Structure 1
């Protein structure tokens, strides 16, 4: 990998969106490749960051769709594991605001079956940052293996975690029980306002940041949709506004924001360690870029993050 590359570990999910069918008693589904970590890997590669995706990809019809999508976006799949288990499926229903609710079909699927031997073969040389999160950190039997991989990675690379709480599949208490351990490993913790409500109910965002800083996370970013983002670096805070856009849906917006943040920090040579030289102004600048990436993702259907030239066009148009 490039010395500035980012390794992403986690699931790739078939996102099936309900569409009008031809007649009564029918239901049509439009299937797009998704899954939080996969979306982040795709967004990183499209922005120009060398991105390697550690995934267990099934050989079924969805797995073949994932592989084609990831490779077309420039994601390195050299360490993806060919899996015999089926792919994970999520059926999405959108509300009037484009927010999605998912029902998951995830029993005994490929994404959660990591073994220590599979990840032991992965070299972290050239990796500036390891990013993971979502269900890969909480779904057994692979969750413990993934957490051990992060423990190995932490002395060598910046660690980024997005909890991406999925209460329909895993109880929020499971995330809460592990979050302090994740913060001890993580340099970057990015989560949504909805995640905050599930992890620390009735806790003000600023207080939540302080709790997670005390547990070890240096940089905490809480995204709030149209409300922008709260940034906290060792307790020094700022707010970054959202970018106004016409929202088709919000699927993958948080994943794209994370990619934009990590891409911009990496491009400035700020990844690769414990973020010792990071300043709040650096994070604010990176989050402004990340907000543009997320806005472009919201402007199209499904988890379809923008390419770098599209972000450049948006920045140019805003500055005109």
Structure 2
């Protein structure tokens, strides 16, 4: 089972002069996408007992995601108010004291034996106490379980850039797989060529570095020659959830190929990597072809 730990929230999206509440959050989206693709997946994040918490749980259950590890709390669900200015989305977070923000080490149960890997990232890594809790969770388990890390950097959400850079400098060497978008690279490694940034991360211990570039496709850097998968051409509705779905496709493929372990990733081959990148690109293409973070089900994937 792949255990996803990181934010879930409600996006309040403008619609007809009001706001429509939609479940969201980068790590939550990846968990949903993994479940829809047929992967064995669990989710760990505090879920409120308020009505929005129940709204978050329903898609997890429908996708077959195991949410039994999620602690329930009376704290309120995080809200992200979305406003549009000249077509560009801006976000205002109602997060202080929320269910997720107060995620604490005491909320983490003993992990079941079937957990084989951890996926973490998103804005849940930024503020404390939740960021420190996720960091501690990775520190405690990365030696036994491979970790995939996607920081999914949102500069507007980062109040203390120096502290967040320091956190990522501690976390990246503990990750077996690191995925970065072009925007992530610009923030983390300014004035550095993507291949050089990937080389630096591999030198810190990662087995695989995934760099995505939207229409430019995705490239995997590892101990062998780089492997590239082109983006799948499609009519784009929006790009919400594209990266989250790509992550799910890669992890689902590695799990299905039986190499989602430290030993398996050490024996990675070009064929295994090509299959993972291809599934990630195919799944992301379906997500961008329809509005919102709506990842594909396994029966919608190319055969």
TM range (shorter): over 0.9
Ranges of 4+ aligned residues in structure 1 off by more than 4 Å: 93-96, 98-101
Match of 1:127 in 2: 115
> How many residues were matched structurally?
301
In structure 1, the gaps of 5 or more residues are 22-26
1:198 pairs with one of 163, 187, 196: 187
Corresponding residue SS for 2:7: coil
In structure 2, the gaps of 5 or more residues are none
CA displacement 1:85-119 (0-9 Å, x = unmatched) = 211112335689x9754332222211121222221
- Structure 1 88/58 Cα, relative in aligned 2: closer, same or farther at 3 Å? same
2:13 pairs with one of 13, 17, 22: 17
CA displacement 1:229-251 (0-9 Å, x = unmatched) = 12111363132210111111111
Match of 1:145 in 2: 133
Match of 1:59 in 2: 49
CA displacement 1:3-23 (0-9 Å, x = unmatched) = xx111111101122222x2xx
Corresponding residue SS for 2:116: strand
- Is 2:206 aligned against 1:212? no
> In 2, distance between residues paired with 1:175 and 1:310?
38
- Is 2:150 aligned against 1:154? no
> In 2, distance between residues paired with 1:221 and 1:248?
24
1:8 pairs with one of 4, 10, 16: 4
> In 2, distance between residues paired with 1:101 and 1:241?
30
- Is 2:153 aligned against 1:165? yes
- Assess if the C-alpha contact under 8 Å between 1:124 and 1:156 holds in 2: no
1:288 pairs with one of 241, 258, 278: 278
1:239 pairs with one of 228, 231, 242: 228
- Structure 1 93/246 Cα, relative in aligned 2: closer, same or farther at 3 Å? farther
- Assess if the C-alpha contact under 8 Å between 1:158 and 1:187 holds in 2: yes
Question: Any residues of structure 2 matched to 1:84-95 within 5 Å, and which?
Answer: 84-93=74-83
1:40 pairs with one of 10, 17, 30: 30
CA displacement 1:288-315 (0-9 Å, x = unmatched) = 111010011111111111100001xxx2
Question: Any residues of structure 2 matched to 1:244-263 within 5 Å, and which?
Answer: 244-263=233-252
Corresponding residue SS for 2:254: helix
Report the TM-score, using the length of structure 2 for normalisation: 0.93
